[in-house]
Amino acid sequence: MIEVENFSKSYAGFRAVQGISFHVDKGEIVGFLGPNGAGKSTTMKVLAGYLPPTDGKVSVAGFDVVNDSIEVRKRIGYMPENVPLYTDMRVNEFLRFRAELKKVTRRKIKDRVESVKQLCSLKDVENKIIGTLSKGYRQRVGLADAMVHEPDLLILDEPTIGLDPNQIRAVRDLIKDLGKHHTILLSTHILSEVELTCGRVLVINRGRIEASDTPANLTKLVRGGGSIALEVKAAGAEVVAKLKTVPKVDDVEVDLTAEGEWTHAKIFAEPGVDVREAVYRVVRQNDWPLRELTRVKATLEEAFVELTQD
Amino acid sequence: MAFWTLYKRELNSYFQSAVAYVVLFVSALAQGLVFAWLTGRVIDANYKDQSVMQLFFNFPLFWILLFVQIPLITMRVFSEEFKLGTIEMLLTAPVTEWDVVLSKFFGAVSFFLVLWLPIVLDLIALQIFSNPEPPVYWSQLGMTALTITLVGGFYVSIGIFSSVLTKNQIIAGALCFVFIFGAFCLALQKWVAHLDSATLDRISYISLLEHLQNAVLGIFDTRPIVFYVSMTAFMLLVTKTILEGRRLQS
């Protein structure tokens, strides 16, 4: 659905995106992650046919974004960051206008507008002027606009920013649902959202792709995919020394300055190895009183930090 | 298709804004008052050689209103889209730059013509209530209407051009005023400078004032028509090019 080869984008000498390549297949939900200013929005604007690439080849559904811009635009639903809308129009009026503009046939306009209003829970504000709506509603109007012409591909730039937790959940469910029939590329800073909705994650930093994998695989990149938390009544130094002798344990972290007789240790093992049993034996051999032994899964947040921090 | 959709939206947006109604109200009031006053003069002084309509369009009101109307109706057309960021939403829909520029142009010209509807109503009223009924000079009426449309179109194209330059409406309005006033004043040097007759002749090609004065007399002249149509087309082309350039460089 999306093919990006060696794509670069410069603004007035500044290289926002530096020769990235990736592709998105039909039916995928791909999360686009990266710190602010990493080049996410720029890439999305290029995919939407708004900006031309400085270098490289970008095509959507087989059409080049520069030469066949109109064909590309017909097939995508793009929701820009901050959702710009005509604030003097009513919700109904706006959606009808956008549907007409996006060449929805006259007979289908009414149906399509009704159905996106239903999907985005806009029924109760359909006659309100957009300028009077709250951020959350505007966000949903933008989403409704992106979907109104049933595009093959949805490009959503931070669709949940500024929403309350309930609305975020609603939008998340909506995206999951849409993913059954559409290809979706979305950018966000809410990592839990990506874990729950996206089949694949692209991490971009300083204009380069740092990783492209499933959320689960990305978390495995973080120090073997997680750690083991252990809390015992023993001296910190002793705990470290004894645990390091356990086979396949890479590292043990203990806060030696902590007060009290309880020591909290973080144990990192080799990727894919569960050392909990071995740790338990060490604890029993030394007769340390034990009050916690848990596996802590690495989060996408940690993977994100690891991939994007210098 | 896209043009028509955008044109409807443009025209609608005028009727959603308070500024437009203020302009419409002031225009109608000024036109009505001046028209009534001139009619009074014609009756009192028993004018024989000029009709009320001729007097009306030789009176400076038309130009004064024009210099106010055009910046006010065109300053927001692109500036607001840039400021709200809606231009991004607009140009990621399957529409071309020409669709956008032309719809904004024709929307503004249409609203401009609405602003001059009151004078038509005034003329109709005069026709109905006069006794004996004055003759109707269709060629004068037609030429005047055509010239107002052409001058309006040219000025609107300058206004749209000013608006595409900046995201600040006030600056766009001020620029527009400077440009259209400048275009008008180019011809005024006829009266202030000592020029030879060849230069004077050349100046009348671009003298908006003279074009209107001739049109009111019912004189059909293709030169001003060509002048306005080509200048308007040129301004629209420049506007479209700048719009494209802003997108590609942003």
- Residue A235 pLDDT greater than 90, yes or no: no
- Residue A111 pLDDT greater than 90, yes or no: yes
Q: What is the rounded CA–CA span in Å between residue A178 and residue A262?
A: 50
Chain A residues within 8 A of B245 when measuring between CB atoms: none
Give the confidence band of A238 by pLDDT, cuts at 50, 70, 90. Answer: confident
Whether B89 and A84 lie within 8 Å, measured CB to CB:
yes
Residue of A5, A42, A25, A58 lying closest to A207 (CA atoms): A42
pLDDT of amino acid A241 = 87
- Chosen for mutation from A14, A92, A101 (greatest number of chain B CBs closer than 10 Å) is A101
pLDDT of amino acid A309 = 76
- Residue A177 pLDDT greater than 80, yes or no: yes
Burial of B145 (0-12, 13-18, 19+ CB in 10 A): middle
- B15-56 pLDDT, tens per residue? 988 888 999 999 999 999 999 888 888 888 777 777 777 888
Provide the total of helices (H) and of strands (E) in chain B, helices listed first: 14, 0
Q: Does the beta carbon of B95 lie under 8 angstroms from any beta carbon of chain A? A: yes
Radius of gyration of chain B (CA): 20
Whether B13 and A88 lie within 8 Å, measured CB to CB:
yes
Whether A70 and B16 lie within 8 Å, measured CB to CB:
no
Whole-number percent of chain B with pLDDT over 70: 99
Q: Residue B80's closest chain A neighbor by CA? A: A86
pLDDT of amino acid B31 = 92
Q: What is the rounded CA–CA span in Å between residue A50 and residue A44?
A: 9
Chain B residues within 8 A of A98 when measuring between CB atoms: 93
Give the confidence band of B165 by pLDDT, cuts at 50, 70, 90. Answer: very high
Q: Does the beta carbon of A96 lie under 8 angstroms from any beta carbon of chain B? A: no
Residues facing A20 on adjacent strands: A7
The CA–CA distances, whole Å, from A176 to A137, A170, B41 equal 19, 10, 76
Give the confidence band of B9 by pLDDT, cuts at 50, 70, 90. Answer: very high
Q: Report, as an integer, the average pLDDT of A18-45.
A: 88
Which among A51, A74, A85 is the nearest to B94, CB-wise? A74
Query: CA angle, B186 as apex, B182 and B192 as ends, to 5°?
Result: 120
pLDDT of amino acid A84 = 93
pLDDT of amino acid B111 = 96
Whether B94 and A70 lie within 8 Å, measured CB to CB:
yes
Which among A87, A88, A102 is the nearest to B94, CB-wise? A102
What's the whole-number average pLDDT of chain B? 89
- Residue A155 pLDDT greater than 80, yes or no: yes
How far away is chain A from the Cα of B101, in angstroms, using its nearest Cα? 15
Q: Which residue has the higher pLDDT, B113 or A180?
A: B113
CB < 8 Å from B in window 163-202 of A: none
Chain A residues within 8 A of B9 when measuring between CB atoms: 86, 89, 97
Whole-number percent of chain A with pLDDT over 70: 99
Whether B5 and A51 lie within 8 Å, measured CB to CB:
no
Q: Does the beta carbon of A275 lie under 8 angstroms from any beta carbon of chain B? A: no
Give the confidence band of A172 by pLDDT, cuts at 50, 70, 90. Answer: confident
- Residue A112 pLDDT greater than 90, yes or no: yes
- A49-83 pLDDT, tens per residue? 888 898 899 999 889 998 898 999 999 999 998 89
Q: What is the rounded CA–CA span in Å between residue A91 and residue A97?
A: 10
pLDDT of amino acid B95 = 93
Q: Which residue has the higher pLDDT, A12 or B179?
A: B179
- Residue B218 pLDDT greater than 90, yes or no: no
What residues have CB less than 8 Å from A248, skipping those under 6 apart?
A269, A270, A273, A275, A278
Least confident segment among A162-171, B15-24, B72-81, B176-185: A162-171
Whole-number percent of chain A with pLDDT over 90: 29
Q: Which residue has the higher pLDDT, B156 or A158?
A: B156
pLDDT of amino acid B207 = 81
What end-to-end distance do the CA atoms of chain A give, in Å? 32
- Residue A224 pLDDT greater than 70, yes or no: no
How far away is chain A from the Cα of B5, in angstroms, using its nearest Cα? 6
Which among A45, A88, A103 is the nearest to B16, CB-wise? A88
Q: Does the beta carbon of A269 lie under 8 angstroms from any beta carbon of chain B? A: no
User: How many residues are given for chain A?
Assistant: 310
Chain A residues within 8 A of B80 when measuring between CB atoms: none
Q: Which residue has the higher pLDDT, A197 or B248?
A: A197
pLDDT of amino acid B197 = 79
Is residue B226 within 8 Å of residue B211, measured between CB atoms? no
Whole-model pTM: value is 0.86
pLDDT of amino acid A269 = 83
Chain A residues within 8 A of B92 when measuring between CB atoms: 48-50, 73, 76, 78, 80
Radius of gyration of chain A (CA): 25
Task: For each of the domains in chain A, give its residue range(s) and CATH number, in order of start.
Answer: 2-213 (3.40.50.300), 221-308 (3.30.70.1340)
DSSP-derived letter for residue A128 is S
Give the confidence band of A141 by pLDDT, cuts at 50, 70, 90. Answer: very high
Is residue A270 within 8 Å of residue A250, measured between CB atoms? yes
pLDDT of amino acid A310 = 64
Which among B1, B84, B91 is the nearest to A50, CB-wise? B91
Residue of A212, A234, A221 lying closest to A284 (CA atoms): A234
- Residue B102 pLDDT greater than 80, yes or no: yes
Is residue B206 within 8 Å of residue B185, measured between CB atoms? no
DSSP-derived letter for residue A222 is T
Give the confidence band of B250 by pLDDT, cuts at 50, 70, 90. Answer: low
- Chosen for mutation from A82, A100, A147 (greatest number of chain B CBs closer than 10 Å) is A100
User: What three-state secondary structure class fits A199?
Assistant: coil
Tell me what ipTM this predicted complex has: 0.86
State which amino acid sits at residue B238. V
Residue of A35, A49, A39 lying closest to A2 (CA atoms): A49
How far away is chain A from the Cα of B243, in angstroms, using its nearest Cα? 12
Whether A78 and B16 lie within 8 Å, measured CB to CB:
no
Q: Report, as an integer, the average pLDDT of A254-280.
A: 83
Q: Report, as an integer, the average pLDDT of B214-240.
A: 91
pLDDT of amino acid B133 = 79
pLDDT of amino acid A93 = 94
Q: Report, as an integer, the average pLDDT of A248-252.
A: 85
- B133-147 pLDDT, tens per residue? 777 888 888 888 999
